[in-house]
Structure 1
Amino acid sequence: MDASATLTAAHWMYLLGVAVIVVTMIFRANVVVPSIIATVLVTFAWTGDPIGALGSVFNASFVAAKELFNIFLVIALMTALLNALKELRSDIRMVEPLRKVMKNGHISYFLLAIATYFISLFFWPTPAVPLVSAVLLPAAIAAGMPPLAGAVAIAIAGQGMALSSDYVIGVAPGISAGAAGGVASVVADQALVLSLITGLIALVFAYFTLRRQFQPANNLLLVRWQNQGSNHEAKAIEHEKPEELEEGTQHKAYIADAVQYDGAFSDSGLDHLVHDQPRRLQKWSKLFAVLTPVVFLLVMAVMILPKLVSGMPDLKGGDAAALVGGAAAVLMILATLAARGAVEMLNASADHITDGFVFAFKAMGSVLPIAGFFYLGAGETAAAILGLPAEESRSLLFELVQNAEAWIPQSQILVAFGVLVVGMITGIDGSGFSGLPLTGALSGALAPSVGMQPETLAAIGQMGAVWTGGGTLIAWSSLIAVAGFARVPVQDAVRALTLPVFLGLASATVGAVLLWG
């Protein structure tokens, strides 16, 4: 494409739409309506056809849905599996053994982070937070870990490390790569490395800032912590701040999941949940508590080993998502069969899948019109939205960046930090995923001007957006649920997390430039 491409009214309208969306995010408002309006105005400025402009609202969301439907499907199947495991109470049994090794607060801090990370990696933080808070957090507090440290460990490992890479389910890499015109598996691989750099630095730094608050193990610490609230603190939060809980994509799921684990904060409550079952279900519960993590560890091995061992077949395109979704579906059917029997399994499995799709569209449905607008700025997807031949389409964002190259610093480190900051700004609305279409599109446009891979910049932007809005830096994000379960003020959690997470994100951005720049 010619570097001197003439800018048209459509370019300026697209740029105005991006600016309005960013400002809307800064003011913590939802950007679906601005995205729809911007789509109409850009299309009208491009084609001059008012009927086509109205139709572009549908077409843009439809193209986004086609690009992202594999993501919705994986979320639905993983959620269906989780619901099946809850019937058997296998989810509780999976983490119960860790209670026995929580000998002191220092060990408990890192074990809490490890457990949260792995559960969140496979199921998102939605079940991880209430499960870990109910089963492991009380044991960690009795071992001498301060509740604030527990909130910090859970937030960094779940909403930070696991959600920002989203390596197994692949929602975030799929959105970022689609908007950047890159390869989702490359974004996922690089985001995994960056999330580990950010998370490990944040975990260790936060530990050293809080270590003086750790105490010797004492059951009175647990009694004092439990007496801070006679009921689940998270339930109280639901009534006190409903407008804040509405802003993110997963807050209601956190609170709803808490009901299942209510009463598990004591050993007797936990014993009741996992042992007060028919003998037949107990053996199946134990089996799936072992089988589920083993299967997904094998899935991860199949995904990772080809990158480490030459000669092994690598998963291409959507094969990784297909493998995860297929494994989840088979495990869900087997777990439902064990819990319900052969006859009821048929209807129950269908119900689990339906519930999974309901959750998927509640969590991610609003992303479609947002992604649709940013897809309008990329040549190939714009052609599909407008119904034009590919050769007649234009890449609005890319051409805008080309015409602004003289003002763009020719420094990989400055551009990388610029994309990181944009990602963090988009996360201010309290939803880490809504800004990914913007950071992805910006990465695809900026990467050629500084000689970087678009996947690398997209992964950096993904770090900024998800770590900020996913629930580590913003008090009105899902961090409010984490603080509620830990029974600490959410602002205290924000203060404890800010410097460690900033340090981690800055280190990861520098690392990305050194590794892949």
Structure 2
Amino acid sequence: MALTAAHWVYLAGVLLIIGVTIARKNVLVPALLATAVTAWVMTGSPIRGIQAIFDASLTAASELFNIFLIIAMVTALLGALRAMKADQRMVTPFQKVMRGGWSAYAVLAVVTYGISLFFWPTPAVPLIGAILVPAAIRAGLPAMGAAMAIAVAGQGMALSSDYVMQVAPGLSATAAGAKASTVADIALVLSLITGVTALVITALMMRRHMKQPSAENLERWEAGVVTDFTPARRLLRRIRSTAQQPTAEPISVEEVAEVVEEEKVPVGATAGPPGNDLPRARRGGGGGHAGSDDPPSSPGTFQAPETEIDDPRVARLSKIFSAGVPLVFVLMIAYLVLGKFDLVPSLEGGDAAALVGGLAAILVIIAVVALEGPKKALTSVGGHVTDGLVFAFRAMGVVLPIAGFFFLGNADFAGKILGYEDTDKAPGLLVDLVTAAARYIPHSGVIVCFGVLIIGMACGLEGSGFSGLPLTGSLAGALGPTVGVDPATLAAVGQMGSVWAGGGVLVAWSSLLVVAGVTRVPVIDLARKAFLPVIAGLVLSTLFAALVL
């Protein structure tokens, strides 16, 4: 078919969003404007173009609201566990396993992956940083090794698959027109390939830096001499030296300004997924409130929390729920796996997500009733759920207008957005563009997979790993049939690129700042050292997706 003006306007909108993303700016405004102009050109009505801004976001919200509810319920559950310090108790026993640098490295990776898989990295990183990182340093693991293990296992491997909560697969699958469960299964395999590869390469890089277990390791780390001083800390030392030696050269205003500029970290879209929030690592606390906008605490003030509980009843409940909640979710995953082999009734897509949200809600009620009693629970449960909903909209709200623009290019949603009575007559702008360009697209699954991976990584450069998923999912749905690649596979590849880049591993202005803060390493050095292992893992997993899946 011949391309119309609407097709070219839509293409210009896509390119504008990609360009703004690469420039590390928030794409919300470009997405809203592109939606209005595209709808105006498609219908010839500027009024409909203005209405499309609202209708596109509303359509996206109706399609994705199940994701918001899952986030809310799981966040509410974490709040209930934190009230009885069960979240701290879940990871404390692993301290005893850290007998040396290698065992500490393995424990950090495994525990970070497990906690992040169920609760996302936002609460996992401060919690693990407060309780397990000091034990790992004492066991002989270098601080950079601890930081890379946490970043790769949490922000990378766990968040990129998001297999339990299935927020990322849901976004990718909805845009690609595929099943969320299929995308989740493929993403899990690809994330494991990428993560294990990155962890192995990281271990090889760290092998010469491992130390013998010693209390001196922890003392030097706490004193800030394990890694190079940052410019701000060097300036602080000079200020102290000047105060102690009146004859020392005074510090100029220009020097202070230079240090401030050097330490300043550009921040992309701060309303990304929970893995991209920058929670406050509380002094002496087990982790900041999920979704907090406070910056990470100063590396020099991070201390392990006090896990002892004075009230024997609360201590007993803490022990029960610290073991019971993970067990319930493990049993749930076992049930889902058995369902894939038809051993029990199978749960697909939204059904599996509903099970996660329902279980979380029930556990919230049980935990709060057990801790505070039935009467107070009537108020407290509502408070936890409200906190969860607030966090969900703060974390994911910015995705709705972006998804709305890409839904406008999808024939399945365009009719509803534009108010067509017969929604089947709505054009599929993105599919039409891909069809028109089919002769220029290499009919190679490998090339197309790597192309979508690169686009996903470019979308992740703004520091928000989930905002690029509507684009990569839409491209997967349009490109997959053209080149003979399963759209679900292509969507999972794009998801890998977007989340590994923007979720807090490859860019320093994401939640990688939190990892650097709790491990006391320079964030730029951490991002640079993680680049080679992660890229190697992504290349290997993309080849696997193109040649095997």
Question: Which of 515, 518, 521 is the matching residue for 1:482?
Answer: 515
Corresponding letter in the other structure for 1:373:
F
Question: Which of 123, 133, 153 is the matching residue for 2:129?
Answer: 133
Q: Distance in 1 between matches of 2:347 and 2:173?
A: 16
Q: Distance in 2 between matches of 1:168 and 1:512?
A: 21
Q: Distance in 2 between matches of 1:161 and 1:410?
A: 30
Counterpart mapping for 1:469-508 below 5 A = 469-508=502-541
Q: Distance in 2 between matches of 1:438 and 1:257?
A: 36
- For the 8 Å contact 1:89–1:273, the answer to whether it is kept is no
- For the 8 Å contact 2:171–2:470, the answer to whether it is kept is yes
Q: Distance in 2 between matches of 1:103 and 1:273?
A: 22
Counterpart mapping for 1:141-220 below 5 A = 141-220=137-216
Query: What is the SS of the residue equivalent to 1:275?
Result: coil
- For the 8 Å contact 1:245–1:252, the answer to whether it is kept is no
Q: Distance in 1 between matches of 2:548 and 2:409?
A: 29
- For the 8 Å contact 2:26–2:268, the answer to whether it is kept is no
Question: Which of 239, 255, 260 is the matching residue for 2:280?
Answer: 255
- For the 8 Å contact 1:367–1:433, the answer to whether it is kept is yes
Shift of 1:244: 2.9
Query: What is the SS of the residue equivalent to 1:429?
Result: coil
Q: Distance in 2 between matches of 1:9 and 1:404?
A: 16
Cα shift readout 1:278-320 (whole Å, capped 9, x = no counterpart): 011000000000001000001111122222x344321023111
Change beyond 3 A, Cα 1:137–1:245: farther
Shift of 1:92: 0.7
Corresponding letter in the other structure for 1:202:
A
Match of residue 79 from structure 1: 75
- For the 8 Å contact 2:271–2:394, the answer to whether it is kept is no
Question: Which of 38, 42, 45 is the matching residue for 1:46?
Answer: 42
- For the 8 Å contact 2:463–2:504, the answer to whether it is kept is yes
Does 1:335 find its partner at 2:360?
no
Q: Distance in 1 between matches of 2:176 and 2:284?
A: 40
Shift of 1:514: 2.3
Question: Which of 318, 332, 356 is the matching residue for 1:299?
Answer: 332
- Contiguous gaps of at least 5 residues in structure 2: 234-259, 288-296
- For the 8 Å contact 1:148–1:486, the answer to whether it is kept is yes
Normalised by the length of structure 1, the TM-score is 0.94
Q: Distance in 2 between matches of 1:498 and 1:64?
A: 33
- For the 8 Å contact 1:163–1:470, the answer to whether it is kept is yes
Match of residue 102 from structure 1: 98
Shift of 1:257: 5.7
Shift of 1:260: 2.5
Shift of 1:342: 1.9
Question: Which of 348, 357, 380 is the matching residue for 1:316?
Answer: 348
- For the 8 Å contact 2:32–2:53, the answer to whether it is kept is yes
Does 1:358 find its partner at 2:390?
yes
Q: Distance in 1 between matches of 2:39 and 2:470?
A: 18
Q: Distance in 2 between matches of 1:221 and 1:198?
A: 31
Change beyond 3 A, Cα 1:246–1:15: closer
- Contiguous gaps of at least 5 residues in structure 1: none
Query: What is the SS of the residue equivalent to 1:30?
Result: coil
Corresponding letter in the other structure for 2:401:
P
Shift of 1:277: 2.6
Q: Give percent identity, aligned residues only.
A: 51
Match of residue 291 from structure 2: none
Match of residue 445 from structure 1: 478
- For the 8 Å contact 1:127–1:257, the answer to whether it is kept is no
Change beyond 3 A, Cα 1:258–1:192: farther
Match of residue 237 from structure 2: none
- For the 8 Å contact 2:270–2:464, the answer to whether it is kept is yes
Cα shift readout 1:13-64 (whole Å, capped 9, x = no counterpart): 0000000000000000000000000000000110001111100000000000
Match of residue 458 from structure 1: 491
Q: Distance in 1 between matches of 2:218 and 2:511?
A: 24
Does 1:227 find its partner at 2:223?
yes
Counterpart mapping for 1:330-409 below 5 A = 330-388=362-420, 389-409=422-442
Shift of 1:326: 0.7
Does 1:428 find its partner at 2:461?
yes
Q: Give the structure with the higher percent helix.
A: 1
Match of residue 19 from structure 1: 15
Q: Distance in 2 between matches of 1:311 and 1:107?
A: 36
Corresponding letter in the other structure for 1:112:
L
Normalised by the length of structure 2, the TM-score is 0.88
- For the 8 Å contact 2:139–2:214, the answer to whether it is kept is yes
Question: Which of 24, 30, 35 is the matching residue for 1:34?
Answer: 30
Question: Which of 62, 68, 85 is the matching residue for 2:64?
Answer: 68
Q: Distance in 2 between matches of 1:471 and 1:410?
A: 33
- For the 8 Å contact 1:463–1:505, the answer to whether it is kept is yes
Corresponding letter in the other structure for 2:541:
A
Shift of 1:392: 1.1
Q: Distance in 2 between matches of 1:346 and 1:44?
A: 49
Corresponding letter in the other structure for 1:16:
A
- For the 8 Å contact 2:28–2:401, the answer to whether it is kept is yes
> Aligned Cα RMSD in Å?
2.1
Change beyond 3 A, Cα 1:498–1:181: same
Change beyond 3 A, Cα 1:258–1:160: farther
**Bigger radius of gyration among the two:** 2
